[in-house]
Structure 1
Amino acid sequence: MSHTAHIRSHRKPRRSASTIAMRAGVAGGVLSTLAVAGASGANAAEPVTQTIELPALTADLAAQVAQSADATQQTAANYELQAERDAAAANAAKQAKADLAEAKLKAQAKKKAAETARKAAAERASRNADRTTLGVSANVSTGSSSSSSSTATGSAAAVIAFVKAQIGDAYVSGGTGPNSWDCSGMVQAAFKQVGINLPRVSQDQSVAGTQVSLSNLQPGDILYWGSAGNAYHVAVYVGDGMFVGAQNSSTGVVEKPLSYDPPTGAVRVL
């Protein structure tokens, strides 16, 4: 027996070919994986950047921008102008409607006034014959108109004396004396002399007493022109078919016959 028979060999045991091949494959796979990972890491470290070129603001482009802004501003101005025109047209239409309504009211008022004047004129004409008859009857029944119609006593005489004393004074609208009068101002002052307080204006004085017929007048009666409650003139009957009144600015206070301006009616307050 050899003296080295029990000594283990210092040589490494040989690896089989299959083992070597397997290890080589594993190593190759590992290297491949590392290579792929390395490539991926390289790509991730360097991102791709895309550059976009903006157009340069040239003089032409600036002009186009300015022109567009001007056009927008002009459009806005046009809209504002149109809105103002529409508002003005609406206001004009509203004013025209109001003016038309006012004109209609004025026309109706004028028509009513004309109708009132026409009726008053017709009433005057219809009473003219009565006044003429009144004068004739007085003369026939008395033989002298002055013997009956001019006889006034007491308060009536005082009223007549007052109005006759004002003959020749001026007529002034709104006048209440002592040297200028309007028709109702003088009548009011005359009756105030005898303690009777009449209303100030003709309309009210025409209904201040008892309505009397023009064929039955007495000195001191108040004559009115127009209609009762809507008279436009008054005077005092002084007898003998005469009246005294503040007629107008041309004549002033005068004494006239009834035929000069035939009255519409009369009231008696004495």
Structure 2
Amino acid sequence: MGIGPLVLVGSASVLIKINWEVIIPAVIKHSQTITKLQLYSDDNGLPFSFVNLFTNLQKFIFSFIDGVIFEDFKKLQYANFPKLEILKIPYQCPKSEYIIKFLENNGKNLKMFYVGEKNKALSSSIAKFCPNIRKLFIIFNNDEIDILKTIFINCKYLESIKIWCGNGFLIKKEVLETVVNHSPSNFHELKIFCSSSSDVSPEDWESFFIGWKNRIPKKLLSLTFIDYIENNENLEILKKYKNLGIIKFWTKGFEEEEMDEESDYYQ
């Protein structure tokens, strides 16, 4: 298997794609000036513990495809990045205990965390180590609604969350109840990927929107439904509260959402 590319976004926001063997020694020379970094590869044995030299990193994207083994992340878990605000691991994830240790060291200043992993210990660690998080994507099991509640209570600055519902993931009705009753005052965006038909009735939506309307301070709620469409009866309720200025909502395909996420990597 060939050596994959390293993608770097430096302080001048210049995108570079080049072979690891060629670029790593040169990059290390500029480790104090690089603030945005994406690593991408499909190779098992790539050394990326050199990243711990990038002490001014503000954005770190770790894009390794499924099947890659991350032995070198065992060293990186102890690194300290005092300015790190954005951490994204959209595909294959290192061992959860490594990520948890990484969050223990670096979660305090994180404003965005995106991880495509379903692990109870990892989900629970967010409330403990990421108190200043603003934007979050993580996958919960269907019995972990209390973890979402704890995140809402402990992460006082959380503004946006994207989650999966249905078929072994969270129950959407429970998510809505938790959002309206426990999300912090700055919260205003909910993205739901639903892998099964809706378990929310028109009465459930009505109750949710009334509860949201009565929250203080009042916030316009942005709802995005990914890869599914509510039934006509529920859509009428959504449109009603959109016209009342309580919410705005969109429906997007999974691929469209993934493309939007991908483009966001390079901002």
Q: TM-score scaled to structure 1, two decimals? A: 0.17
Q: Which has the higher contact order (CA 8 A, sep 6+)?
A: 1
Q: TM-score scaled to structure 2, two decimals? A: 0.17
